[in-house]
Amino acid sequence: MDPGRRFAAPGMWLRKLCASIAGVLVLACTPALAQEDSAKAKFELCASCHNDNGISTAENIPSLAGQTDRYVQWQLVYFRSGTRKSEIMNPIAEALSNEDVRDLGAYIAKLQPAEPGAPSHPDLVEKGRTLAAQNRCAACHGEKLEGNGAAARLSGQREDYLLKALQNFKAGQRVGGGMAAMADVIYPLTPDDLPALAAYAASVR
Ligand code: HEC
Ligand code: HEC
């Protein structure tokens, strides 16, 4: 037997023991930190389209920053099950575990939402404001359309994406959850109303 190895053995043991104690301490002391780091790592895949700060700069890609935790979780589950159709998001969501969905929801909700920009169609904002009051959008989406539980944040969202979402509801392409809240809302609205609502909702501060 190699004597060097024989004497080295206790040292090895000690080193392993220390490493494992250190590992336990690190885990015990910083579980919240570790979880946030892992959510951030999970979000890296999303950032290629939704950007690191969760504020999209691309047409028809929604901003996620400051979206409600519950809304994000539900949408990821709908994408995963195919209830909500998107060639892009369906395969991405299929790869997510329930834990991923929870981590991503919490992480996204904490990102600083986009400042509402100047609407691209300022002439439509007043019409949108009237329609929003008549149709009680704020009753579900919050006083400043900042989102509330399963009802999405609309404030600060991209106007092009909001219009697309409303058109998808109108066309019956997006059915949403069991309560189908938006189906009832969208039914009496005309296609002409939708750009006005999108312009207004995107601009609410
Ligand atoms: C290749 C680009 C791409 C990547 C990568 C991507 N997304 Fe998306 N995401 C989109 C597009 C496009 C939509 C809009 C789908 C639609 O039109 O209904 C979307 C929609 C969403 C929505 C719905 C937002 C809303 O307001 O309804 C959520 C939530 C979402 N993505 C989360 C994620 C998460 C989490 C990841 C990473 C795990 C991710 N996305 C990765 C392109 C992408
Ligand atoms: C009864 C409650 C309720 C009312 C009233 C309501 N909404 Fe919604 N809205 C919801 C819910 C819940 C969702 C999420 C639906 C889903 O799961 O797909 C939603 C989703 C949306 C979305 C999609 C957001 C995204 O990021 O994809 C838009 C846009 C929207 N609503 C606009 C409006 C507008 C504009 C009005 C007023 C004309 C309105 N809503 C009134 C409950 C409501």
Architecture of domain 122-203 in this structure:
Orthogonal Bundle (1.10)
In the chain, where are the structural domains located? 30-110, 122-203
- Tell me the CA–centroid distance for residue 89 and ligand 1, in Å: 5
61 lines ligand 1 (CB under 6 A): yes
88 lines ligand 1 (CB under 6 A): yes
Nearest CA to ligand 1 atom 38: 46
40 lines ligand 2 (CB under 6 A): no
Q: How far apart are CA 125 and CA 195, in angstroms?
A: 9
183-204 pLDDT, tens digit each = 999 999 999 999 999 999 999 9
Ligand nearest to the backbone CA of 201: 2
Two domains, one topology: 30-110 and 122-203: yes
26-80 pLDDT, tens digit each = 555 466 777 778 999 999 999 999 999 999 999 999 999 999 999 999 999 999 9
Dihedral (CA of 77, 142, 68, 125) sign: positive
Say if CB 53 and CB 65 are below 8 A apart.
yes
This prediction's pTM: 0.88
- CATH 1.10.760.10 at 30-110, yes or no: yes
Atom in ligand 1 nearest the alpha carbon of residue 67: 26
118-160 pLDDT, tens digit each = 888 889 999 999 999 999 999 999 999 999 999 999 999 999 9
> What are the Cα distances from residue 52, in Å, to 10, 45, 98, 108, 166?
47, 10, 22, 10, 26
